[in-house]
Structure 1
């Protein structure tokens, strides 16, 4: 957790971390997921100095989790796949749909 975060965010971090660990993920993966989720919520609430465009415009993590919990695991969103393709410098990504991005990324 970043220095200066509120007790609420500390509790949120611990809760998410324990929840992810209970699903069988490693300690390191649980910490990463919890930190990313809490940092996104901090950015959306205006509690951080900087925020990515995705953090501000994407659906909130709590809402997204609720939508996916009843329909099974659908994996990453199109935007998340696109950002990964961008990081990996995959050419033609802007013309690909979600399935094509998944295939190119090997998911």
Structure 2
């Protein structure tokens, strides 16, 4: 038998657990084990019962705008094949460097050693 009250679960979560439990029982799993597995599955998928407070954290409009702007800049840099600003090229693997070089279409990249790739990637595009 699963532990704890199920009062904080939504009706949808309860139906889902019941359906999963029936499925396990049809496969021959004992009722108590099936119920425990069903609730474990519901918890894994939805994070448990309803949360107090409802809609989560409040983020100011300015913070949201700044986050979107920096996210857009990172996305553009990624498409150009530039490493993230917080990622050091020396710490990257050769295959990661090769991927960045491929995105930037650097000629001769397949014959370059790691240090040569780093040097080529540091040059402006």
Q: TM-score, normalised by structure 1?
A: 0.39
Instruction: Report which structure shows greater RCO (CA 8 Å, sep ≥6).
Output: 2
Q: TM-score, normalised by structure 2?
A: 0.34
Query: Which of structures 1 and 2 has the bigger CA Rg?
Result: 2
